[in-house]
Amino acid sequence: MRKRESAPSRRSRRRSTVRSVGFVIAAQNRRAAAIAARVAKWLEARGIEVRLPSPASKPSAVSELEGSPAEQAFSTDVVISLGGDGTFLAAARRAAETGVPVLGVNVGGLGFLTDTRHSDLLPVLEKMLAEGFEVVTRSTLQAEVIRGGQVTWSASAVNDVVITKAPMARLLFLDIEVGSVHLSTYAAAGIIVASPTGSTAYSLSAGGPVVHPDVPALLVTPICAHTLFSRPLVLPGDASVTLRLRPRGREGEEVMVTADGQVGHPLNGRDLLHVRRGANPVRVVKVGEADFYQRLKDKLHWGTRL
């Protein structure tokens, strides 16, 4: 496992060759599994080592990759994520730990994080085999829950770390510190701490700003804030955020912290949540001349006349 110092998103100038390819497939997505099997045969016919979930005919769960059949994919030259943004996020979190680049392939919905359509996958791979490939890096987040001075839970995230309440829609009261400074107490349905990549996900729907992934920043966005002064914050990329829940006399209420909406942990009034930039960025395969602004127009329909 290679550890690297996190840095703002940037483009790699070095082209890497492809000798082995691993696949991570969306759970219960038979279409994605069929595409993976077909592409695997195409790659093997060209002398490329392929690692598919076993058995290849069954989609692999991506919520917990550690120890799963999909884990073997992360000791290859490149991992192909076949599914939607959720599949990509699960694969990217694991790939950040190992340093393997990820190629996101969209099979179905919006696919904001997945640059390649499944119908374009073979031409993209053909070019990668002939010319190698470049990568861009995307910063990650590291979250830790502290209880009684001990770390009781930790997780990495590509998009965001979220504190939210379930199942009743009552306000949470959350103290927020930036560095060592107590900044405010949010009264809200929850708090989102997002990376620049995650600025176009849950944070955007909660009223947060769109931030270019090359900007070294940390975003804090309240969910349905109760007071007008509780506005989203854009912090420096090396900032650290600490959140503490104020129970307000309701100790029995269920409050959760989640990473990318895929892994989570319950919180109580004695817990602290620390969020900072992760030590290991995600290496994403660069496809063509994909541009962030063009993606905003294509995926979010910006610039479309109403």
Query: Which residues carry out catalysis?
Result: 85
Are 211 and 221 in contact by the 8 Å Cβ rule? The answer is no
CA gap 240, 294 in Å, rounded: 31
What is the rounded CA–CA span in Å between residue 242 and residue 275? Answer: 6
Other Cβ atoms closer than 10 A to 246: 14
Which residue carries 């900007």 as its tokens?
215
**In degrees, to the nearest 5, what angle opens at C-alpha 148 toward C-alphas 4 and 253?**
100
Cα 30 to Cα 25, 27, 77, 225: the distances in Å are 9, 8, 25, 41
Cβ atoms of residues 215 and 199 within 8 Å: no
CA-based torsion, 147, 153, 157, 159: positive or negative: negative
Residue 79 β-bridge partners: 22, 102
Distances in whole angstroms, Cα of residue 158 to Cα of each of 107, 110, 141:
20, 18, 6
Burial class (CB in 10 A: 0-12, 13-18, 19+), 205: exposed
Q: Are strands 263-267 and 254-259 parallel, antiparallel or unpaired?
A: antiparallel
Identify which of 139, 156, 95, 155 has the alpha carbon closest to the alpha carbon of residue 281. 139
